[in-house]
Amino acid sequence: MTTSQVVLVTGVSSGIGRAAAEQFAQRGCAVFGTVRNIAKAAPIRGVTLVEMDVRDTASVQRAIAAIVAQTGRIDVLVNNAGMNLMGAVEETSVGEAQALFDTNLFGILRTTQAVLPHMRQRQSGRIVNVSSVLGFLPAPYMGLYAASKHAVEGLSETLDHEVRQFGVRVTLVAPSYTRTSLDANSPSASAPIGAYDRERGIVTEAVAGHVSGAPQPDGVAATIVEAALGKWRMRRMPPGQASLLSKLRRFMPAGPVDASLRKGLGLV
């Protein structure tokens, strides 16, 4: 049994998850990071890699049971694993939408349901769900991704109401553009409709430009660590664009926010 904080981070192969796992380890936590294929995963100093697929309930339950058997508990769950999808709503198939939700929303549901019994028993715990600015500020040609993150936000707020009686709190971290492979290599809907080609191309190019000029994931990772180990707040915004967009959404009239969003994506 360990006396340091036991932290489980999903999706640590690269990007935000990897950076967060590294920072938790630097803080002295006992860190477990999940990957879908442990044979292909690069090691992370101070992090124990665990093979787990958030889309597979049995895989999730096995991995979490193994961690609890080793450490006696899980103090922090960071639900970071996710996928993106570019495409107009009309050209996105139900199957593609289901695959997206299976990772981004139901993956969180699976891991949370597997971890909560242990947190309830100990009467303590923190769950950090990684959302996105698109969870409160939708953008064109990212509709299903935005819908999945809206769902994550609703699930998280509801869950926090339900589990705080057990000493468990849930919090959201909503990054904006970050220089990761998730943002840089977003798949597109497989059956494009020609009528959307012009605008979709403009938005895709604009997003690529934003990603190439975006900060590395370390800032988002630091926000995740603070959300997990610091004083509870329902939402934490990484410094920079995410924080600014949150304020714009909250305080500015809808019309100017809409116009600013479209201008930033090259649409008029």
Which sequence positions are flagged as catalytic?
Answer: 13, 131, 145, 149
- Rounded CA gap, 268 and 257, in Å? 13
CA distances from 49 to 33, 38, 43, 66, 195 (A): 5, 7, 7, 12, 45
Strands 6-9 and 30-35: parallel
Q: In whole angstroms, how far apart are CA 268 and each of 108, 133, 263?
A: 36, 21, 6
| Nearest-angstrom CA–CA distance, 174 and 131 | 5
**What is the three-class DSSP state of 132?**
coil
**DSSP secondary structure, 30-73, as one string:** EEEEEES-GGGPPP-TTEEEEE--TT-HHHHHHHHHHHHHHHS-
Q: Give CA–CA dist 162/113, Å, rounded.
A: 13
Beta 76-79 vs 47-51: how paired, if at all? unpaired
d(CA 264, CA 235): 24
Q: Side by side, which strands form the sheet with 125-130?
A: 47-51, 30-35, 6-9, 76-79, 125-130, 168-173, 235-236
